[in-house]
Amino acid sequence: MTGKSPSMIVTAALMHGLGMHTGAWMARDGAADDHLSAAMYKDIARTAEAGKLHALFLAEQMTNQEVGTERPCGALDTATVLAVMAAVTDRIGLVGTASTTYNEPYDLARRFATLDHLSGGRVGWNSIATQNPTVVEQFGGGVSLDHEQRYARADEFIDVVLRLWESWEEGALVGDKAAGVFASEDLVHEIDHKGEYFSVRGPLPFPRTPQGRPVIFQAGSSPRGRDQAAKYADVVFTAQHVLQDAIDFRNDMRDRAAAYGRDPDSIKILPGISLVLGSTETEARERKEHLDEVFGTGPNLRKLAKRVGLPVDVLELDEKFPAHLLGPDEEFKGSIGFRRSIVNLAVTEGLTVRELIAQYGGGHHQVVGTPEQVADDMKERMEAGAADGFTLMIDMLPSGIHDVVDMLVPELRQRGLFHDDYEHDTLRGTLGIGPASAVPATAANAA
């Protein structure tokens, strides 16, 4: 496929410290604190770049209050870890989560623009309006923002960050030593923002980045979250178990983007897939069974209960999932997108609670099998219009990344579904989303 745009975007998500699966830290070889080692992140970055993955996606959990001491979580500072990975790579994209609820726009804009400069234009910011109420206890306490307040703050936050990233126009850096002109004052602008949540003068203290601005990822799946993504996001990371739900989600996002005057092709939808790979189906299933067994049913049951908003004691393992007991989404304090996807999977397939625990992949569509079986699934979803590519939820680190590169990537290439090499220097170019452009303030028909 050299010389052509890749038909499938593939990124890999690094979640929960040592892998997406809750039992990863016990099932894997290696020390329980490997997620605190720079060596692991360097190995992952080099391996993923050797496989020509489009990007690595690093989640960030700002506190361990939700998981306690039960397992490691991805609580290291995102920007620092991305910098470590940037230093040992040249082409792969590096995307990190940072909250709009517990950061300030100026600091975040400066931090991610710094990374984008130092990496040569390979950085993305995954914007998240943090819903976990325990995080507020680490930031002075008080009352957590409700759903609408979180998204109102996030809208203003993203708008300020974009304006800061654009506060130096193209060509502002002159660098004329003879004339003693470093930068053109006329092309550097204060933003003088005064809003409901923030007051920011600007500008940033350095020129815009090699790709114009970092790529914006976003993962909100509620109606409010979708509208924000349609307005601002370049890439949408989503959880969709059921194929028709995934098709409907992508169509809805493209329609919403068009309502904001955007080219629908400028927004890429990359649903998560939880992978457990093996050279044979038996090998893959044995790996999955080992991961499930070491962690145990109890913790997995508690995790499912939290994902859907039900008490643990109403979840009978060998009874049908009790969807009729669920309260309305409007009263749910967790991720509405995860909840809807999991519940739709349970209802559509008539699963028992035990079956749902085994199949819901921690929140994402799960595939357990050979590279051929995984490629079949990915191809089906691509051809159905359910995705522009995928975010691979790696079960166990670092072995899961090595399996993707050694087994899945060759299979995708053999089918003509994946590129042979990087064709662009920046993440924006690699993802095929075009140059950065201003986002309209209002939508014509956004819902």
pLDDT of residue 5: 39
CA 389 to CA 52: how far, in whole Å?
A: 14
Q: Is the pLDDT of residue 7 over 80?
A: no
What H or E segment, with its residue span, contains residue 121?
A: none
Tell which wins on pLDDT, 63 or 422: 422
Among 217, 139, 208, 131, residue whose Cα is nearest residue 169: 208
Q: Is the pLDDT of residue 444 over 80?
A: no
Tell which wins on pLDDT, 18 or 445: 18
Copy the structure tokens of residue 95.
Answer: 């995307």
pLDDT of residue 1: 37
User: Per mean pLDDT, which range of 7-11, 97-101, 287-291, 418-422 is the poorest?
Assistant: 7-11
Q: Is 142 within 8 Å of 232 (Cβ atoms)?
A: no
What percent of the chain shows pLDDT beyond 90?
71
The SS3 of residue 73 is coil
Tens digit of each residue's pLDDT (9 = 90 or more) over 51-69: 999 999 998 888 776 777 8
Copy the structure tokens of residue 56.
Answer: 């690595």
CA 209 to CA 125: how far, in whole Å?
A: 13
CA 107 to CA 340: how far, in whole Å?
A: 34
- Whether the pTM exceeds 0.85: the reply is yes
- Quote the mean pLDDT of the chain: 91
Tens digit of each residue's pLDDT (9 = 90 or more) over 352-401: 988 888 887 677 899 999 999 999 999 999 999 999 999 999 999 999 99
CA 227 to CA 201: how far, in whole Å?
A: 27
pLDDT of residue 197: 97
CATH number, span 9-166+208-280+365-431: 3.20.20.30
Tens digit of each residue's pLDDT (9 = 90 or more) over 196-230: 999 999 999 999 999 999 999 999 788 999 999 99
Alpha helices in 317-361 (DSSP H): 336-349, 353-359
Q: How much of the chain is helix, strand and coil, in % rounded to 5? A: 45, 15, 40
Q: pLDDT confidence of 47, banded at 50, 70, 90?
A: very high
Q: Is the pLDDT of residue 235 over 70?
A: yes
Q: Is 129 within 8 Å of 221 (Cβ atoms)?
A: no
Q: Is 183 within 8 Å of 207 (Cβ atoms)?
A: yes
The bridge status of strand 181-183 relative to strand 173-176 is antiparallel
* Domain locations in the chain as residue ranges: 9-166+208-280+365-431
Which residues does residue 389 pair with via DSSP β-bridges, in sequence order? Answer: 9
User: Per mean pLDDT, which range of 75-79, 130-134, 252-256, 402-406 is the poorest?
Assistant: 130-134
Mean pLDDT of 302-319: 88
